[in-house]
Amino acid sequence: MSGGAGGAANACFTCHGLQGQGDDVSTPRLAGLDAGYLQKQMEDYASGLRPDDVMSRIAKGLDPDSRRAVALFYAGLPSSTSKSASPSAAAPPPVWRTGDASRGITACSSCHGPNGQGAGEGQPIVAGQPVAYTLEQIDRWKSGKRRNDPRGVMAAAVQRLTDAEARAIAQWLSGQSVSPTPASASASASVSAAAAARPAASRETRRPDRSDGA
C-alpha cells in the first residue's frame, strides 16, 4: 500500500487517499466497494483487459495475492469516508430510471439500483464517484477503450447516450449516498430480482460486437 521500492508515486494512498475516499475530482472512491469487483479490476488492469496508464503499471507490479490483499483492504474500509455520505434529494435523470426503449437504452437502475448503490452481487456501486471519473468511464465504454464488462453490457448501455445525458448521470451520481438506506436497499433487491428474471434473449439483443471476441 506504501508503494514499496517504487516509492510514493506507486503508493495506493497517493491517489486514492488514506481512507480510500478518492480526491472528489477525478480519482475514484474505493472504500466500501465489493471485494470481488475490486479484485477483478486489479486483475483486468494487470492483464491489459482494462488498460490504464497508471493502474496497469501498478497492478502488473503486484502478484495475485497482493492484488487480492489490496481489494480486501479497500472493501473493508467504511464507505462513510466518502464526501457523498449525505445524499442529494435531486431526482435521477429519466434515462437512469427508465432507459429509452426507442433508442435501445436499458435503464441504468436495472443493474446499478435506483440510487446507484448496486442491485445485487457483481453490480458495482457507482454512487458518490466524482463527476469527471464517471464521465471518463462512460467515454471509455463508448469508445471501446474499456471493455472488461461481462457480455458487453456496459458498452451497449452507454453507446446511444447523448453527452448531456452522460453528464446528467455523472452529476446526479456524485451527489448520491454510497450506503443505501433500508428503503432503497429493499428497492435495489427488487430491481435486482427483476433484472435477473428478464429473459436471456432480451438481454442478449443489446450485446454489441466485441473486438476481444468475448
pLDDT tens profile 73-128? 999 999 865 444 455 678 999 999 999 999 999 999 999 999 999 876 667 899 99
Q: Which helix (H) or strand (E) holds 175?
A: none
Asked if residue 67 and residue 143 are part of one domain, the reply reads no
Q: Which of 171-209 are b and which e, b meaning 16 or more Cβ less than 10 Å from the residue's Cβ?
A: ebbbbbbbbbeeebeebbeebbeebeeeeeeeeeebeee
Q: What is the pLDDT confidence band of residue 26, given thresholds at 50, 70 and 90?
A: very high
Asked if residue 109 and residue 68 are part of one domain, the reply reads no
Which domain does 24 fall in, by range? Answer: 4-81
Asked if residue 108 and residue 61 are part of one domain, the reply reads no
Domain count, the chain: 2
pLDDT at 145: 95
Domain contains 87 = no
CB proximity list for 31: less than 8 A, separation 6 or greater: 19, 20, 21, 74, 77, 78, 79, 81, 82, 178
User: Position 143: which residue type?
Assistant: S
Rounded to an integer, the average pLDDT of 17-28 is 93
pLDDT at 72: 96
Asked if residue 122 and residue 55 are part of one domain, the reply reads no
Asked if residue 178 and residue 112 are part of one domain, the reply reads yes
Is the pLDDT score of 204 beyond 60? Answer: no
The CATH number covering residue 190 comes to 1.10.760.10
Q: Report pLDDT digits (tens) over 119-164.
A: 766 678 999 999 999 999 999 999 999 999 988 999 999 999 999 9
Asked if residue 103 and residue 62 are part of one domain, the reply reads no
Asked if residue 41 and residue 9 are part of one domain, the reply reads yes
